[in-house]
């Protein structure tokens, strides 16, 4: 994976929404690094307000970040003129947003065909390709409708068809299945998988859905404008070190990124070791004399019997395997 060329790269990305209101400026992104290779699918997960949409808009060149550099297909977007930027975006990337993807005065079919107008494709051929995609997404029967006449799920599928018609090499999507029912959402995901596997299309998807995140090769977890963890097959923890810090709230609650928790030995009892101002060590209670973890023999959520395996995650329900005390 790592020797493939990079399609999207961001370096030290910061974004501040300036406001004169009482609560002042909002720092939405705090020095992020992102690197997406050709054909790679990356998910961005995180709670509401953590900066996911802001990140996507900055990466797609729809919003200028307060600081930092974004390169698309090897070209530094902040250096391009308006026209160069439009051209680069048109031939490389498509967007699918949470809402407001469609032109209200055009029919669904014309909305899907419209991006091809800039690409010297005849109107007849554009409509044929638009119809083909709409059939694939199960919305061909709504081709003549205006966006306002379509349901939220139908509008979202029109938006997806519109994003796909230019054969982009990268798709940036913000909650692409958020407005869809589970069945339609699975169909959209199937189409994404096909594009990913067959056509080597790269994805950066913001999502709350486990299924969408599972489609991705890895997922980045955003909290308060910082990446706090990375999950998946191709994870390089070192990439995160600059951005990692833990927050202890005023109730004394510490939230550990999942990969840190796993490396510590998972949930369980920890005794407080050394303690002084600004310094704390924790020692897991469930570590035997040789330093090995003592793992529960069955899943506390679904009773799955782990037998002799040393898996950390329950294969039947996905719960984290607890540790036990000696
Ligand atoms: N136009 C804006 N002006 C001021 N602050 C904004 C603006 N847009 C977003 N913010 C603030 O920036 C932070 C990040 O917002 P963002 O929309 O990127 O979050 P998100 O992770 O996409 O949330 P959600 O999951 O709810 O879509 C939030 O605190 C939000 O209130
Ligand atoms: Mg958002």
Choosing from 20, 25, 26 the residue with most ligand 1 atoms within 8 A of its CB, the one to mutate for a pocket test is 26
Helices (H) and strands (E) in the chain, counts: 8, 12
Mutation test residue for ligand 1: of 27, 32, 54, the one with most atoms within 8 Å of CB: 54
For 275-293, the pLDDT digits (tens) are 888 788 887 766 666 666 6
Q: Where are the beta strands (DSSP E) in the chain?
A: 6-17, 26-37, 41-45, 67-72, 75-76, 93-96, 170-174, 202-206, 218-223, 226-232, 270-276, 279-284
* φ, ψ at 143 (rounded to 5°): -55, -35
- CA 49 to chain centroid, in Å, comes to 14
Where residue 242 falls among pLDDT bands split at 50, 70, 90? very low
Give the span between the Cα atoms of 142 and 154, in whole angstroms.
8
Secondary structure of residue 313 in the 3-state scheme: strand
Q: Using CA positions, which residue lies closest to atom 27 of ligand 1?
A: 48
> Dihedral through CA 190, CA 194, CA 200, CA 201, nearest 10?
-40
Residues with CB under 6 A from ligand 1: 17, 19, 26, 28, 46, 48-54
Question: Ligand 2 center to residue 207 CA distance, Å?
Answer: 9
pLDDT grade for 251, boundaries at 50, 70 and 90: low
Report the CATH architecture of 6-238. Answer: 3-Layer(aba) Sandwich (3.40)
Tell me: the pLDDT tens digits for 179-230?
788 888 888 888 899 889 988 999 999 988 878 888 898 889 898 898 877 7
Write the pLDDT tens digit of every residue in 126-166.
999 999 999 988 899 999 999 999 988 889 889 999 999 99
Q: Which ligand is nearest to the CA of 51?
A: 1
Domain boundaries, the chain: 6-238, 265-326
């Amino acid at each position: 994976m790592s020797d493939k060329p990079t399609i999207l790269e961001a370096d030290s990305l910061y974004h501040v929404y300036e406001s004169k209101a009482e609560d002042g400026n909002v720092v939405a992104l705090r020095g992020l690094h992102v690197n997406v290779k050709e054909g790679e699918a990356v998910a961005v997960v995180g709670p509401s307000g953590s900066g996911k949409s802001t990140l996507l808009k900055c990466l797609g060149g729809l919003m200028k970040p307060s600081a930092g550099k974004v390169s698309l297909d090897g070209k530094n977007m902040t250096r391009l003129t308006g026209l160069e930027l439009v051209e680069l975006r048109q031939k490389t990337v498509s967007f699918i947003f949470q809402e407001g993807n469609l032109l209200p005065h055009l029919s669904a079919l014309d909305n899907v065909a419209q991006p091809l107008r800039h690409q010297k494709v005849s109107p007849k051929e554009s409509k044929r390709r638009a119809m083909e995609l709409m059939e694939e997404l199960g919305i061909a029967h709504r081709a003549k409708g205006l966006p306002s006449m379509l349901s939220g799920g139908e509008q979202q599928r029109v938006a997806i068809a519109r994003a796909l018609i230019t054969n982009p090499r990268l798709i940036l999507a913000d909650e692409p299945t958020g407005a869809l029912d589970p069945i339609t959402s699975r169909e959209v995901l199937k189409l994404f998988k096909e594009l990913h596997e067959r056509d080597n299309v790269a994805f950066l998807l913001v999502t709350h859905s486990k299924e969408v995140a599972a489609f991705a090769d890895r997922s980045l977890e955003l909290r308060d404008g910082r990446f706090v963890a990375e999950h998946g097959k191709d994870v390089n923890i070192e990439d995160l070190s600059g951005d990692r810090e833990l927050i202890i709230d005023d109730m004394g609650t510490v939230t550990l990124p999942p990969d840190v928790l796993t490396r510590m030995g998972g949930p369980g009892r920890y005794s407080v070791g050394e303690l002084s101002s600004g310094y704390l060590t924790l020692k897991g209670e469930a570590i035997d004399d040789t330093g090995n973890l003592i793992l529960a023999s069955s899943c506390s959520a679904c009773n799955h019997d782990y037998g002799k395996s040393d898996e950390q995650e329950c294969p039947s329900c996905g719960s984290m395997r607890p540790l036990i005390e000696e």
